[in-house]
Amino acid sequence: MNRREALALMAAGAGAAACGPQGAANDAGDADGGETGGESTQSQPPIWVKDPAPFIRHGTNLETRLEDLGGWLTPNELFFVRNHAPTPRIDPAAYRLTVGGPGAEREVELTLDDLRALPRQTLIAYIECAGNWRGFFQRVTGRTASGSQWGTGAIGCAEWSGPSLADALALAGVRDDAVDVNVIGLDDAEWARPMPVAKALDPATILALTMNGAPLPPDHGFPVRAVAPGWVGSSSVKWVGRIEIATSRVWVRANTSSYVLVGDEWPADRYAPADGAPISTGVVKSALALPHPARVAPGRRRLSGFAWSPRGPVARVEWRVDGGRWGAARLIGASGDLPHAWVRFEFEWEAAPGDHIVQTRATDAAGNFQPLEGAYNEKGYLLNAALPHLVQVG
């Protein structure tokens, strides 16, 4: 699209966004596998434990405002929430994790103390909902995708600590014919996401007990959640209660009807029993830490944002205004020693009065980069085109 068309689309989308987040009207369907809850009422228990005020609400979900993040790690109280059901309240003294299944040599039951006694792994990793940016499909592709109309804030980066999933599986014994490991939550949705044995045994796949140095908050999986770096957020199952080792491919809601790519490019008969191509790994992305639309005063302005990739550290971020030449942004906190983390970036812009479209694009160390156009899919997953961000100067 040209600049005039982009501005028109952005202005129309901004009006919708201003009205949309406060009600269940944003939850068009079940594209994320359970986006059916509305805001809490006096006759129902609260959906979340944390204060929802700082967030944009989407049914049972809370979207972070990236402009509220001033540092590299996302504070627990500002970390987005993606729930398939209200946050459960779990008694840590009564908690038990069972590990077993046909691919296990034995079934074991583990307490929190048992998990704490295992060697502890610590990693800094971002978690992003596969539907992040879904609200931009109309602006980027000209077609609206179903599901919660997330902006750019269904993502956060934190320090996670706990035993590796591999160490917990070793207590049950993984048979040679094991194929999948299914991680199952204790929420009312009993959310489950299987992964191949190789992913489960990856040292970076952990059972987190802490988040940013504190016990996991209830909304983020207390007392135990999986963290599967590089995979979409639905794979990092919260409130883990059972882990099943299977000797055949496991098919559940998360990889048959919910987190799958549906459209002409992904015919269902090719991926049966799934409705389309199941999603696992995320995509390289960058986003400005600004509202949509943003308003700034004229003059030299420092704009900042975040960039991330599931396949290694971000190598560079570029920016441009109104379709002009790309320039290099400065990376902050980038390190090859932290391949699962996001990075911050910033650049200076001489902002002239008027309406402008600002875009950023990231490239990772493996050469993966953001395209200029987005590929449409019905459920609205994995959009990573260089977003047209309307910035009004005046």
User: What CATH number corresponds to the domain at position 172?
Assistant: 3.90.420.10
* DSSP 8-state symbol, 322: T
In the prediction, which pLDDT does 346 show? 97
Q: Which residues contact 392 (CB under 8 A, 6 or more apart)?
A: 293, 294, 295, 296, 354, 355, 356
Residues 148 and 185 grouped into a single domain: yes
CB 92 within 8 A of CB 158: no
How far apart CA 203 and CA 211 sit, in angstroms, is 18
Handedness of CA 186, 131, 327, 316 (dihedral sign): positive
The DSSP output letter for 206 is E
For residues 120 and 225, state if they share a domain. yes
Number of domains the chain contains: 2
| 371 and 344 assigned to the same domain | yes
Q: Which whole number is the average pLDDT over 112-127?
A: 98
Mean model confidence pLDDT for the chain: 90
Q: Of 280, 298, 318, which residue sits at a domain end?
A: 280
Q: Which of residues 280, 300, 318 is at a domain's end? A: 280
The amino acid present at 363, given as its one-letter code, is T
Amino acid at the residue 368: N
Helices (H) and strands (E) counted in the chain, each on its own, are 7, 26
More confident residue, 145 or 71: 145
Q: What pLDDT, on the 0 to 100 scale, is given for residue 45?
A: 64
Q: What digits encode the pLDDT tens for the residues 276-316? A: 999 999 999 999 999 999 999 999 999 999 999 999 899 99
- pLDDT at position 2 is 43
Same domain, 162 and 197: yes
Which residue range(s) make up the domain with 160? Answer: 1-280
The percentage of the chain sitting over the pLDDT mark of 90, rounded to a whole number, equals 86
Predicted local confidence at residue 394, as pLDDT:
93
Q: Is there a contact between 245 and 364 (Cβ–Cβ < 8 Å)?
A: no
Query: Percent of the chain at pLDDT above 70?
Result: 88
Q: What is the pLDDT of residues 342-384, one digit of tens each?
A: 999 999 999 999 999 999 999 999 999 999 999 999 999 999 9
Say if residues 137 and 383 touch (Cβ distance below 8 Å). yes
Per-residue b or e along 277-293, where b marks 16 or more CB atoms closer than 10 Å to that residue's CB = bbbbebbbbbbbbbbbb
Last residue of a domain, one of 280, 297, 320: 280
Which of the four pLDDT bands, split at 50, 70 and 90, describes residue 187?
very high
Q: Which residues make Cβ contacts (< 8 Å) with residue 213, sequence separation at least 6?
A: 159, 161
Using the CB atoms, write b or e for 252-274: b if 16+ within 10 Å: bbbbbbbbbbbeeebeeeebeeb
> Could you give the count of Cα atoms lying within 13 Å of 30 in the half-sphere of its Cβ?
11
Residue 12 has pLDDT above 80, yes or no: no
What pLDDT does 37 receive? 36
Determine the pLDDT at residue 366: 94
CA-based end-to-end distance of the chain: 25
DSSP 326-370: -EEPEEES--TT-TTS-EEEEEEEEE-SEEEEEEEEEEETTS-B-
11 and 132, same structural domain? yes
Q: Are residues 213 and 167 in the same domain?
A: yes
Largest CA distance in the chain: 68
**Shared-domain flag, residues 187 and 213:** yes
Q: Are 233 and 314 in a shared domain?
A: no
Statement to judge: residues 141 and 206 lie in one domain: yes
- pLDDT band (50, 70, 90) for residue 44: low
Cα dihedral 102, 108, 113, 119, rounded to 10, equals -60
Residue 95's nearest CA partner among 235, 224, 181, 210 is 224
Are residue 270 and residue 341 in the same domain, yes or no?
A: no
Q: Are residues 322 and 196 part of one domain?
A: no
205-260 tens-digit pLDDT: 999 999 999 999 999 999 999 999 999 999 999 999 999 999 999 999 999 999 99
Q: Are residues 193 and 108 in the same domain?
A: yes
CATH of the domain at 315: 2.60.40.650
